[in-house]
Amino acid sequence: MTDAATLYIDGKWTGAADGATFDVLDPSTDVAFGAASAGGAADARAALDAANAAFPAWSRTTAYERSEILVRAHRLLGERAEELAQLMTREQGKPIRMARAEVKYAGDFLLWFAEEAKRVYGMTIPSARADQRFTVLRQPVGVVAAITPWNYPISMITRKVAPAIAAGCTTVLKPAEQTPLCAVAVFEILHEAGLPAGVANLVTAEDPAPVSDVWLNSHEVRKLTFTGSTEVGMMLASRAAASMKRVSMELGGHAPFLIFDDADIEHAAKGAALVRFLNTGQACICPNRIYVQRPHVEAFTEAFTARAAKLKVGAGTTDGVTIGPLIDGAAMAKMQRQVDDAVAKGARVTTGGTAVRPDGLTGQNFFAPTVLADVTPDMLIYREETFGPIAAIVGFDDEADAIAMANDTRYGLASYVYTNDLKRSIRVTEALRFGMIGLNDINPTSAAAPFGGVGESGTGREGGSTGIDEYLDIKLIGTAL
């Protein structure tokens, strides 16, 4: 790959058809450190043509052949783990320790689906007729279009591309415009692992619309997989329906974190702080609403605030930093808007509440870890996904109150429950309308577990034994003897 030749089409690195490029910025300095090809409609079409041409041969390869390529990719990713983590921190701003964890997580998907490729089983079904046999096959859906986000710029690629490869599909992928170089690094690994030309194709773009338009309007694309905001996801899904594409959508979240009066308050404060400020709060599973049972609200707020106030803000490459830059100025403006709205309506800021400027850094995308107490349902932060380092604390009276408040959202991705009462844990987890629940656990995710939500948090599941199903069609064969 040459500088700014960041399109990977039909097994070759190339620039955009019109030669356009765009700068890649370090969000901690707002200074460009690289460039990427600004792919457009012609490039999207070329990538789709390559994927479509490669599909017949690739779909006929054995599961073992596909598995071997994913295993090699896993090995290469492991060998370059530190290089990838450093790139991610520079391009996305993620603190280096978290970037290293994400690279490991990305590798897990390659290895997991290398094994799942061998477990795409069919079945036979007894017939009521003696002279008939039913056979069921599971076959690749065809060409898959994938659109991935900036907040997890490597693992979200492997979570989509690995099962597509394992299933025998071919893919075209557009990464977020903020993090194209992480995607390039992943595709370099796939190339070196021996993936045949055309099986996976990459189009980096500054303007996503021309690229996605080509893929959405094409009948050759049989599946769309997207991770991003609910608003964009709903638009993409509605357009995909025009050609009856299969879709899987991992969209926004507004996770509740329920802390009952029998829980250990210090332990709950530690867990809530770790997951609330994960990736600087820029993760769809971060809890937006922290519900604490009275009369423990003040004790929890004090313990939680003490932890938040100790978090170090700065460039992700700096030792000890746990709060890096937000991705851009729009994200910063949203943080301040939510804080100002909450304060105007009666909330208390117990720490933070403003933008900060770490020493020696020119970037303006740093927001102090913030805790808002006395949050009420009429505040923006109670309804909007925050996607930043702000925690909202709300009191509740009893179990029924907590369940009703937690479910009072159009989102349904992740949720959390802290309780030491076994009966309560069963009642509450069964009553919460969310796709994932952490019961005394802040990390209910793994390559081996299904990830996804309900409601406006999306449809379909990624990871786990069901993750490959999203890329397979079911075919029934009835044979008369």
Report the catalytic residues. 250, 284
Please name the residues in contact with 319: beta carbons below 8 A apart, sequence gap of 6 or more.
none
DSSP string, 131-184: TEEEEEEEEE-SEEEEE--SSSTTHHHHHHHHHHHHHT-EEEEE--TT-HHHHH
Burial 361-385 (b: 16+ CB within 10 A, else e): bebbbbbbbbbbbbbeeebbbbeeb
**Cα–Cα distance between 461 and 248 in angstroms, integer?**
7
Please name the residues in contact with 134: beta carbons below 8 A apart, sequence gap of 6 or more.
124, 125, 126, 127, 476, 477, 478, 479
What is the token pair recorded at 248?
């899987």
Q: Is 233 exposed, middle or buried (0-12, 13-18, 19+ CB in 10 A)?
A: buried
Using DSSP, state whether 392 is helix, strand or coil.
strand
Contact 281, 275 (CB under 8 A): no
In the β-sheet with 132-140, what is the strand arrangement from edge to edge? 123-125, 132-140, 472-480
Q: What number of residues does the chain have?
A: 481
In one-letter notation, the amino acid at residue 243 is S
**Cα–Cα distance between 412 and 329 in angstroms, integer?**
27
C-alpha closest to that of 199 among 30, 18, 57: 57
**Cα–Cα distance between 190 and 197 in angstroms, integer?**
10
The residue with tokens 């979240």 is 253
**Cα–Cα distance between 442 and 286 in angstroms, integer?**
9
